[in-house]
Amino acid sequence: MSGTAAETPPAVRFREARIEMAHGAGGKATRRLVEGLFVPLLSDASAPPLGDAASLELDGARLAVTTDGFVVTPLRFAGGSIGELAIHGTVNDLAVAGARPEVIVAGWVLEAGLETEVLEAEVRAMGRAARQAGVRVVGGDTKVVDHGKADRMYVTTTGIGRFLPGLETDPHSVRPGDRIILSGPIGDHGITILLARGELDLEADLRSDTRSVFPMVEALAQAAGPAVRWMRDPTRGGLATALNELARDCRQGIQLQEQEIPVRDAVRGSCELLGLDPLHIANEGQFVAVVAASGAAAALEAIRGVPGGEEARLIGEVCPEPAGSVLVTTPYGGSRIVDMLVGDPLPRIC
Amino acid sequence: MKYVDEFRDPETIEAAAREIRRLADPSRHYRIMEVCGGHTHAIYRFGLQDLLPENLELIHGPGCPVCVLPMGRIDDGLELARQPGMIFAAFGDMMRVPGTRGTPLEHQARGMDVRIVYSPADALEIARKNPDKHVLFFAIGFETTAPSTALTLKRARAENVPNFSVFCNHVTIIPAIRAILDSPDMRLDAFIGPGHVSTVIGCRPYEWIAENEGKPIAVSGFEPADILQSIVMLLGQLERGESKVENQYRRVVPREGNRAALQVMAEVFELRPYFEWRGLGFISQSALRIRGEYARWDAEKRFDVPGVRVTDPRAAQCGEVLKGVLRPAQCKLFGKECTPEQPVGALMVSAEGSCAAYYNYEHRKRAARNLVSLR
């Protein structure tokens, strides 16, 4: 290749010497890595802002494409397993991009010594989840690494979906006065995993919320499509991180009413004990949508009408201030800024 | 949620806030220090400052164990753990506290075996399960966590566990309060007393503050209603010209403390002649060390501790913030060189550190205050 003006070396802004766990936790460090290293080296300048899925046009058809890796420990937990997560994670990224999930290809990295029984159970779980979500698994790849070089099994899935008609989401379309709708209680997945690791001697009647959110998104699109401005599934980093990213992208403030945000008692209790904020805990079966005020009632009703969407709530609204931040108002009129997650959530003891 | 919701009831809280506004004399300025980092965190998390009158200022005290730990001690602990065959175990609170060459999490990324534990007993369990490794438990905390370290040391001794030791950084709260009261630039009207520490030491150790220093003190719980009720108690005392120790957290704190916990601490620990506190300097008889009978499980006796001393960057004004002379945002580094992600000073590290709490929950809100419509 010959050097042209367009080929000036891309500016890698990521300056940290090593990759740490925090870079994968979905919060600020992840954003620094993605925006400072991956985007400058891999993405072309005309690409739209980072969303859950890329949009591309092939022969006139507009398709959504997304990919995700799954490295959960333990592999199985109350309410789900890595196989289901691998399907639901990708299905949900497509759904919140406004697309109907159509096909998935999967890659497995297996540690030598993994019991076939375990693998079979997870592949079955993937098949079951895919059928339920109405998506076909059309290809895959398998690699095996030495014993001790991986933690039993990792899965990556790449999904392709077709955009739903009449639904255009873009953070820049978000305006003051828009309403924020959450599909159900937060924190179930993250706390379930934390407890399933068994390091805490805590037990709670709690299950991961892993599921496809597409039926709820579809109902929302039918009932209030043109009013929907933005959607996201608040996975790693939790609701706080998802909404902080929105606040940053749309340069508006997000004001939430704390008492409107549904959190199950078991999640609240665990968070109280461990010094964690439910707003930072991961979810795998919820989504948050910004809807124009005029469409909010219809949107809420539509989501609540879908089995599993009964607990959807209006949790706040978009305001001019504090621009770029998320402000939570407590039930007694105090308020606090809620930032993105910094690193992994760590329990506080002393 | 039981035992929590009662203390977050909006009506109770509004009533307490009204009472505070009624009691506060508009012609004077109140400076009340909450000693404990747990209170600092709760005050910001629940937005309590928004409910208080303008002339009532809450000053954040020294009760955040990781904040007052000198960087040299972290370096010492990580240096010991760098030896082959070592496992470094500590509470989650410690994991993002920077030493000279990075935090425990950064050392983990470079290959150190670092484990987050929820109690010292978990660290001992790791030692039992890894007989070919040595587990170093980096112990921090006030009287709240010291008893569990003491019990773990007793168990290690009783079972003669060979591959476990404790690097002890336990400190005691009373000398820190004394140091703050002795500081010439300090003007405080009253104290919100620590809650969890007091479950162990009880209320009596604070009596000198009321009697000799003439400052009211209210030992407080951590829920919004607890903290506001404590402020009501303190304003009431100030109005009546009294100074005594009141126990707002009676549902948890016995006046005499927890005798069993105090007993086990006395068996296992003794006072160090002096100990360095970050931001406050050396304070005599302010920290615990492990008694000679437990030398085999005392990392400081078992290994050659480098004894690193690190001075904080001169621009960082942690000491002034810790003593309440400066507010977090008045430090030159606040929010610029020093943020929760890249902390320079220790107060930015823990969620209970006053700078981190202020940064996370408050300062952008203040910047936008005039424009925000709070409903």
Over 50: is that where the pLDDT of B372 sits?
no
Spatial contact of A232 and A180, defined as CB atoms under 8 Å apart: no
* DSSP-derived secondary structure letter, A38: I
CB contact under 8 A, A332 and B142: no
Average pLDDT over chain A reads 91
As a whole-number percent, the residues of chain B with pLDDT over 90 amount to 67
Residue A46: the pLDDT is 60
Residue A280: the pLDDT is 95
Q: Residue range B338-354: average pLDDT? A: 81
A329 chain-B contacts, CB cut-off 8 A: 47, 374-375
**Helix B224-240 with B10-23: angle, nearest 10 deg:** 20
Residue B98: the pLDDT is 86
CB contact under 8 A, A199 and B372: no
Q: A142-173 pLDDT, tens per residue?
A: 999 999 999 999 999 999 999 998 899 999 99
Q: Residue range B69-74: average pLDDT? A: 92
Q: Is A327 on the interface with B (CB under 8 A)?
A: yes
Q: B283-295 pLDDT, tens per residue?
A: 999 999 999 999 9
Q: Residue range B35-46: average pLDDT? A: 90
Residue B366: the pLDDT is 64
Q: How close, in Å, is residue A336 to chain B by CA atoms?
A: 5
Over 90: is that where the pLDDT of B278 sits?
no
Number of H helices, E strands in chain B: 15, 13
Question: Does B182 or B237 have the greater pLDDT score?
Answer: B237
Residue A9 CA to residue A41 CA, distance in Å, equals 9
Interface pTM (ipTM) of the complex?
Answer: 0.80
Task: Tell how strand A335-337 and strand B30-36 pair up.
Answer: unpaired
Reported confidence tier of residue A47, pLDDT bands at 50, 70, 90 = low
Over 60: is that where the pLDDT of B48 sits?
yes
Over 80: is that where the pLDDT of A51 sits?
no
Q: B215-247 pLDDT, tens per residue?
A: 999 999 999 999 999 999 999 999 999 999 999
- Would you state the structure tokens that stand for residue B336, as one six-digit string? 């610029």
* DSSP-derived secondary structure letter, A35: I
Q: A20-38 pLDDT, tens per residue?
A: 888 988 888 888 999 999 9
CB contact under 8 A, B17 and A335: no
Reported confidence tier of residue B374, pLDDT bands at 50, 70, 90 = very low
Q: Is the pTM of this model over 0.90?
A: no
Q: How far is CA A50 from CA A21, A45, A97, A172, A298, in A?
A: 21, 12, 11, 12, 28
CB contact under 8 A, B51 and A333: yes
* Lowest mean per-residue pLDDT among A71-80, B60-69, B146-155: B60-69
CB contact under 8 A, A332 and B116: no
Which residue among B13, B45, B340 places its CB closest to the CB of A336?
B45
As a whole-number percent, the residues of chain B with pLDDT over 70 amount to 96
- Would you state the structure tokens that stand for residue A342, as one six-digit string? 């910094």
Q: Which residues 27-86 of A have a C-beta within 8 angstroms of B?
A: 28-29
